[in-house]
Structure 1
Amino acid sequence: MRPHFLLLTLFSILLALASPARAEIKIALAAPLSGPDAVFGTQLRNGAEQAATDINAKGGVLGQKFIIVPFDDRGDLKQGIAIANRLVDEKIFFVIGHFYSSITLAASEIYANHSILEITPSATNPQITERGLDLIFRTCGRDDQQSAVAAKYLAAQTGKKIAILFDNTAYGKELADDVRQRLAKAGIQDVLYAGIDKGSKDYGRLVGRIKAAAADLVYWGGGDADAGLLLKKMRAESITAQLLGTDSLASDEFARAGEAAVEGALMTFPADPRRRLQAAGVVREFRARDIDPEVFTLNAYAAVEVLAQAAKAAGTFDPVTIAKTIHSGRPFPTVLGTLTYDAKGDVTTPDYAVYVWRRGYEDQLEYGELATQ
């Protein structure tokens, strides 16, 4: 753990000077709030803000109210680093985010050096928590957990030809590479390994290669809209290969982009938090506001819950002491269920499974856990 006694002393003085009647704890929400991935940033913001509202309505924590302060990193690494330095300058000691692993990896180094506690609801790169940083946590699983589930499913499809594709992002390629390595260890060789730039929308050549390879299964490491458009193009070219994607496909954007073609598509995803008993009241709150708390909304809500409970248990808003409390193995009841953390900052009970997109109520496309895996 890195000592920052001067900074923590300043933090304590500022907190002591706050008027009890107006005391506020600022929590940064760092995410892409504009640009092509704003849908995910909005999910994080909705979750964090609703959690703060609900906690404040119950009296706050240690006499303090939570204030969510949004910062738009636009999904851009340089902007994410700029925001991290800005939080240092503005003396904000808690952050929910970032959304992307690449930004989280860079920003968390800055946060660690200035005793800022970070909880990411969505960044899944294993290296985020493998570096021995004391102040980084997540409410999601890790890429190597969901890629293991994907590889196991693919390996069980005996005799099927498998294509492995990705969108040239660090997230997408790392997942694709891990699945490929796991299949290779099982003695399974893919018939096609290829990438395409995110958002390119030029799928003709790639679809032609899928057809030429006669693939029966396509593993997709990458984002939702690209997956939907790729699948739509595949079906237009009479390619019947089934697609298995990542947790990013648990999004209405995937269904909008792929339309009817997404029916039958598979993805790795944790148990749907919207269906948990613990989340029922919060889900009703969102839906009363015409918001579907999909994908990462409840992960962000849970991040604020963990922070609030750890601060209360620690009896302080000192980030280092709160981090020790989270690392202690203490259980935190949240909308995601009861979370506990290991020494790295990972949740101890990840629960990835294979899900399938299908027709549901009133013929609407929705996803549910695959019955046989």
Structure 2
Amino acid sequence: MSKKSLLLMAVLVMLALAAFGCGQGEQQGGTSDGEILVGIMVPTTGSEATYGKDMENSFNLAVDHVNAAGGINGKNIKTVTADDACDPQQSATAANKLISQGVVAVVGGYCSGATVPTLALYNDAKIPFVITAANSSALAEENPGNAFQTNGTAVHQIEKAIEMWNRDGIKKVAIVHQGDAYSGDLAKIAEAQWTAAGNEIVATEVMNKGEQDTSALVTRIKAKNPDLVFWTAYFADGGLLIKQLRQSGYQGKIMAGDGSCSPQLIKIGGTATEGVQVLSSPIAEYLPAAAEFSAKYKEKYNTEPGPYAALAYDGIGILADAMKRAGAIDFDSVVKALSETKDYEGVAGTTTFGEDHTLARSNFMVVEVKDGKYTLVQ
């Protein structure tokens, strides 16, 4: 073999070793220049991008707070964001992007349907995942052990819904969902729990995403004369359905799941949303512990924090707390510390994880549209 060939082989070997060493460093440490790299997976495009940006803002505000207080065992957190677009295929691409960048943990997850496919990807890559919005029961069922949900589960949400229905004397309920992991799951649990209590589901309908004319669906619902229509999907289509229900003359009660808890629901539905009740995760506006957070959020981003802002802020805090208690940032140590999280006091409330890595106690509240804005009911 010529000297030139030997030299070329040596260079190729050195490059391969360098690449291998770099990859190993990212998997085991995820640090660069003394920083701990944490991935943010949220929708930054598509109909749910408003929520995603709100969550991203909150994550980064929390990172500022953690870093100002000394970081994690002397190292600052650095974030990198990947757009899942609330789409299962794009979420897999987003997850692989974060994995390839060497993150040691991921926070986020808004749409359940886009979050479920990433659980195994992160687990196989030995990356803990703190989920701060998505709450389908499928997440707990599919969780390989690396994921932790800081939002109340779908079961918690339906428990709160039924509490309100019983209070208001509701007997007959019509459910409308969109067949995705989040809305379909809520619909299934609501139907099972409501009928088990001796009440009646008079209709279960599926509305296609982006459907503009719901007149046939509305006609079928009205024919069943429900006391309440329960919309379990997102605000973009929910506002339109509510408007068309009221325009058709439906005068019963309407409730929406937490995916519709956005000012956009009121903007799209207009005056038809008056009196509509919406289930919600902890909203900063109604949380005394979140007053300072809300002020800092508004100061930095010139807008009010959204419905998942407080949970997102706490997601970083919970992760940082676990890393500090673990005294390390490797997968096994962080997952163990996260699973042992008990009575963590955040701006959204107190967090304790159960054996299935979901909240031990519900954190849902109910708001109602009055005079064109949300007000706290319970």
TM-score, normalisation: structure 2: 0.88
Q: Which residue of 1 aligns with 2:8?
A: none
Q: Which residue of 1 aligns with 2:10?
A: none
Q: Which residue of 2 aligns with 1:26?
A: 37
Which of 357, 368, 372 is matched with 2:376 structurally?
368
Secondary structure, in 3 states, of the residue corresponding to 1:239?
coil
Distance in 2 (alpha carbons) for counterparts of 1:313 and 1:60: 13
* Equivalent residue pairs, number: 357
Question: Any conservation in 2 of the 1:160–1:216 contact (CA below 8 Å)?
Answer: yes
The one-letter amino acid paired with 1:369 is V
Which of 354, 357, 362 is matched with 2:369 structurally?
357
Q: Does residue 46 in structure 1 map to residue 57 in structure 2?
A: yes
Which of 355, 366, 375 is matched with 1:343 structurally?
355
Cα 1:247/1:169, change in 2 over 3 Å:
same
TM-score, normalisation: structure 1: 0.89
Distance in 1 (alpha carbons) for counterparts of 2:79 and 2:349: 23
* CA root-mean-square deviation: 2.3
What percentage of residue pairs aligned between the two structures are identical?
A: 25
Describe how 1:12-91 pairs up with structure 2 within 5 A: 14=29, 18=32, 22-91=33-102
Q: Which residue of 2 aligns with 1:330?
A: 342
Describe how 1:1-373 pairs up with structure 2 within 5 A: 10-11=25-26, 14=29, 18=32, 22-131=33-142, 133-155=144-166, 157-158=168-169, 160-288=171-299, 289-359=301-371, 364-370=372-378
**What's the offset of the Cα at 1:123?**
1.1
Long gaps (5+) in structure 1: 1-5
Question: Any conservation in 1 of the 2:354–2:360 contact (CA below 8 Å)?
Answer: yes
Distance in 2 (alpha carbons) for counterparts of 1:157 and 1:55: 44
The one-letter amino acid paired with 2:352 is T
Cα 1:104/1:315, change in 2 over 3 Å:
same
Tell me the alpha carbon deviations over residues 308-363 of structure 1, each in whole angstroms, 9 at most, x when there is no partner. Answer: 1111111111132011112124332211123121222112222324332213xxxx
Question: Any conservation in 2 of the 1:135–1:320 contact (CA below 8 Å)?
Answer: no
Question: Any conservation in 1 of the 2:351–2:359 contact (CA below 8 Å)?
Answer: yes
**What's the offset of the Cα at 1:26?**
1.2
Cα 1:158/1:334, change in 2 over 3 Å:
closer
Cα 1:185/1:249, change in 2 over 3 Å:
same
The structure with the larger Rg is: 2
**What's the offset of the Cα at 1:147?**
1.3
Tell me the alpha carbon deviations over residues 278-314 of structure 1, each in whole angstroms, 9 at most, x when there is no partner. Answer: 2111100122232211111121111101111111111
Distance in 1 (alpha carbons) for counterparts of 2:335 and 2:154: 23
Distance in 2 (alpha carbons) for counterparts of 1:189 and 1:114: 46
Secondary structure, in 3 states, of the residue corresponding to 1:264?
coil
Distance in 1 (alpha carbons) for counterparts of 2:30 and 2:170: 63
Q: Which residue of 2 aligns with 1:3?
A: none
